[in-house]
Amino acid sequence: MNVEQKIIFSEQTLAIVSKIVSHYPEGKQKSALLPVLHIAQAEFGGWLSVPVMDYVASILNILPIEVYEVATFYSMYNTKPVGNCVIEICRTGPCWLCGAEEIISHLESKLKIKAGETTADGKFTIKLVECLADCGNAPVIQVGWDYHGNMTKEKADELIIDFDKNNKVSHKNPYEI
């Protein structure tokens, strides 16, 4: 996240948040926490800083600790900065059987980082994940909200080139995709 970026949702995003909150009974607005964290993460640089989590707590009228304990539990939320493009590689069971390790090694050597790290230019992060539930298309990777199945080294290269050349960002408000 850009340090100068003001932590406040746009009117448009606030309208989405209000709609989500309306899905739950009165007084149960905490139920909206998971979806709102997805939005906050996408809109504030792909990760959840303490000020971002505090902001989410304030708009849902819950305690900041209630947000922290959730944000640190679920694997989809990043509590440390990530690159513009987060490449999530499934490495479990069927993906492993179908060559996930080869894809992981290839991406690590191509981007010159280890899984869990971000490139020095801040463009790419490699993240290993457990089962994306698309095992019929193994090996599978997810970039942003898009699944890419039957992954090969060539396909992985194409994805990187596309993001690099077009300065793409993988984190987008999921309610606006």
Partner 1 sequence: MEKKILLANIETPDFGKFETFRKQGGYAAVEKALKTMSPENVVDEVKKSGLRGRGGAGFPTGLKWSFIDKSTNNPRYLLCNADEGEPGTFKDHYLILKNPHLLIEGMILSSFALGANTAYIFLRGEWFYLMKILDQAIEEAYAKGYLGKNILGTDFSLDLYCHPGGGAYICGEETALIEALEGKRGNPRMKPPFPAIKGLYQNPTCVNNVETIAAVPWIINNGGCEYANVGIGKSTGTKLISACGHINKPGVYEIEMGLPVEEFIYSEKYLGGIKNGKKLKAVIAGGSSVPILPTELILKTAKGEPRLLSYESLADGGFETGTMMGSGGFIVMDETTCMVKSLLNYSRFYHHESCGQCSPCREGTGWMEKILHRIEHGQGNMHDIDLLVDIAKHVEGNTICPLGEAAAWPVRSSILHFRKEFEAHVINKKCTFNNG
Query: Do 40 and 56 form a contact (C-beta atoms < 8 A)?
Result: yes
Q: How many positions of this chain bind partner 1 (CB under 8 A)?
A: 46
In 3D, which of 177, 86, 168, 99 has the Cα closest to residue 140? 99
Q: Contacting partner 1 (CB under 8 A), which of 16, 17, 37, 143?
A: 37
94 is a site residue for partner 1 (CB under 8 A): yes
Closest CB to partner 1 among residues 23, 112: 23
CA distance 10 to 43: 10
> 3-state DSSP call for residue 123?
coil
Write the binding mask 121 to 150 for partner 1: x where contact by CB under 8 A, - elsewhere: --------xxxxxxxxxx---x--xxx---
Interacting positions 52-71 with partner 1 (CB under 8 A) = 60, 62, 66, 69-70
74 is a site residue for partner 1 (CB under 8 A): yes
Closest CB to partner 1 among residues 96, 164: 96
Which secondary-structure segment (H or E) carries 18? Answer: helix 11-21
CA distance 162 to 154: 12
79 is a site residue for partner 1 (CB under 8 A): no
86 is a site residue for partner 1 (CB under 8 A): no
- Enumerate residues 6+ apart whose C-beta is below 8 A from 22: none
Q: Which stretch binds partner 1 (CB under 8 A): 8-16, 46-54, 154-162, 169-177?
A: 169-177
